[in-house]
Structure 1
Amino acid sequence: MINMKKGDAPVSLTKTAGVTARMRWSSYTDYDLYVIVLRTNGDVEYVATFEAHGVAARLSTADGAVKHLGDVGRGARGIAEETVEIELNDSIRAVVPVAYSAQSNGRGSFHRYRVSLEIDNGTEGEKVEISAENANNDARVYSCVPGMIENTQDAVIVHALEQYSRRGSENRPTMKLGRSGLLRKGAETIEVVMDAGPRNRYK
């Protein structure tokens, strides 16, 4: 297990047929995991168990490469976990897991409920965790992007981003290819843009 925090150098994992992203938090609250999928042509898809304005709930991408294994609600004392399975085909440039806390959940924080992200490349047994120790403690921040999974020809690269929405914002993040951003591959860049996507519907 490799532990990462914001500012750490990206970690390269052996490329395998499948990657699993697991988001964990205290089961005292009903958070949700969804993912943003950036295609190599610049298109963006959301895989989520709930709707946003103008965006239907979908448990997989159109090609079935990215699949959400289902919603986990508030439960008994312990840790809740939601999981997304990813087949990194050549059309996928990057995947961003997002932890979401609807306003209807009441006040809380990603730090208080110990939100963390684990990336697992399966058969090679390599794991990266972006831990809850570094999570934002603002009770009115509702979207957390711990990290990004970048798909390259030879490897799976995990970046610790720790990006957060504006206070009170219910808008999803989105992604874009361009000439400026956080991640570089030659002249190409990938950028996660907070609060620029569709607005989540209250759950």
Structure 2
Amino acid sequence: MTHAQAKGKPSAPQGELEFTSHDLSREDAHGEEEPNIKVNVDVSKVKSFLMNVVKTTEIAELDLQMGDMELYVLRKVASSAAAAPPAPAPAAPAPAAAAAAPVAMSSLEEASEPSVDETIVFLQSETVGTFRRGRYAKGKKIGSKPCVEVGTQVKKGQTVAFVEQMGTYAPVLANQAGEVHEFLVQEGDPVGFGQDLVSLYPFFGGHIIGESKHV
């Protein structure tokens, strides 16, 4: 029967082997040594076993006991493997490339934002209710036509629509003279306080300023 006792520590996969064998003597009850018992050892198998240990493990010391035969194996290895050279630091990006990124991002943001005609003015709701384009007087609708249409020229203070709230009608008044550009809500739509309802091209110096309407 073969008994192996291994002591492990980190080592390189290859190294030298140093073999030291000892004969183990046994003492009887009177303290006298008994003669060693000879054990037939297959040297080729022992060698194959040791080479397998060297190649597949990191065991540095090995103590084999085969009957009364002890085989102590010491694997001599280098103190430490050569340290790998540090990886080169990544190259810093070129300043021109770094500066180009914000410019490109700014261009994309500008392209995604819809253009706004700053010459247009908006008429807003001063209450909460339902949008009405018809004409009303004392809570009753007058006629079938709306107050104004797109393209109608209006004076400052002219009624362009109404906001109905519980049977009362609050007029939406033009805040300056101009031309009706667009209705931003439709007949019967609910509206909130401060919501844009109608847009106007304003008059300036006797002329309408806005889309294709220049002095």
TM-score normalised according to structure 2 size: 0.24
TM-score normalised according to structure 1 size: 0.25
**Comparing both structures, which one devotes a greater share of its residues to helix?**
2
Structure showing greater radius of gyration is: 2
